[in-house]
Homo-oligomer: A and B are copies of this chain.
Amino acid sequence: MSATRYTYLGPAGTFTEAALRTLPEAGTRELVPLSSVPAVLDAVRAGQAAGAFVAVENSVEGAVTATSDELVNGTPLMIYREVLLPISFALLVRPGTSMADIKTVTSHPVAQAQVRRWLAANLPDAQWESAASNADGARLVQEGRYDAAVAGVFAAPLYKLDVLADEIHDAESPTTRFILVGRPGRVSSATGFDKTSMVVWLPDDHPGALLELLQEFAVRGINLMRIESRPTGEGMGNYCFLIDCEGHLSERRVSEALMGLRRICPQVRFLGSYPRADHGAPAPLRPGTSEQDFADAADWLSRCLDGRGEL
């Protein structure tokens, strides 16, 4: 039944599935892998699934633009949950390759920077070549162009490669952020540690609009967590922005800021308020921007209208 079905970007056995299974309800859902981000999300749009689970960004590779574009265009969707999953870098080779066979290694340059010390220690004589992405590097290994690729272990089955060494990154793991997306519905209650996502389109003839838009957040003490530009499809130089900010739509500082965006921008698409997956304390609020400060100010205003502002 669609009410218990979640689609996700397949194939089965990847890190996406592993991330999805961290959701408490995953055990009672039918988890259906599909082959493209649009297909995963269209299943929700069409009512064939209650939720769709896709990657939205990686701390090394950046935004998953296929996901961004689906959130921006077409029938609106809403984000209900996010999951952060650390991704280990591994050394991937064609089956049968041993360390001694490796003369060339490829990866995205950012990944190379993160495994430099491991490579120097373990493959001091191998030559490194850059690839457009880690996945592309894995593909080039599959095609025989290079001997080994540095990539996430999840890439191994996709390109029929073996994991010769895992956890080879010098420092902290790169992380991928996934979201659970559904049809728009009532926003769930604030947990006190939430984020809010939206897409905004800037007015045409207004060069300072991006600054004004950021000021709607700043004046209310709301920190931005992420801003991603995407072309609107209306010609070079026209962008919309996917924005994640701290806080929940039911908080007055957030709702006031979003109403401000709505007044400035020709279009704003609210993408949901949902619990943050990063643990630890929220950033301290700027003085005067707590929910209680907003409530107190509203009470004071009511009293002012009645001539009792100073009581």
Report which A residues bind B (CB closer than 8 A). 36-39, 42, 57-63, 65-66, 69-70, 73-74, 76, 78, 84, 108-110, 113-114, 129-133, 136, 172, 174-175, 177, 183-187, 203, 207-208, 210-212, 214-216, 218-220, 223-231, 233-239, 249-250, 255-256, 258-260, 262-264, 268-270, 278, 283, 287-289, 293-294, 296-298, 300-301, 304-310
Contacts and interface: CB of A to CB of B under 8 A. Distances in A.
Contacts of A305: 186-187, 249-250
A229 B228 contact: yes
Contacts of A255: 301
B225 A109 contact: no
- The 9 nearest A-B residue pairs measured at CB: A38-B130, A263-B288, A259-B297, A184-B307, A185-B307, A207-B223, A59-B236, A262-B297, A66-B132
Given A76-B309, A227-B239, 13 more contacts: A57-B231, A59-B233, A60-B233, A76-B310, A183-B307, A184-B309, A187-B307, A210-B224, A227-B229, A236-B278, A249-B305, A262-B296, A270-B309
In this complex, the member of A174, A264, A278 whose beta carbon has the largest number of chain B beta carbons within 10 angstroms is: A264
Nearest to A184: B307
Contact of A184 (B210, B233, B236, B310): B310
Given A218-B208, A259-B298, A263-B294, A69 B110 contact: yes
Dominant SS at the A interface? mixed
Contact of A216 (B59, B219, B300): B219
Given A73-B110, A263-B293, A283-B207, A132 B231 contact: no
Number of copies: 4
B215 A300 contact: no
A309 to B, nearest CB: 4
Contact of A258 (B42, B133, B227, B304): B304
A36 B131 contact: yes
A60 B59 CA distance: 24
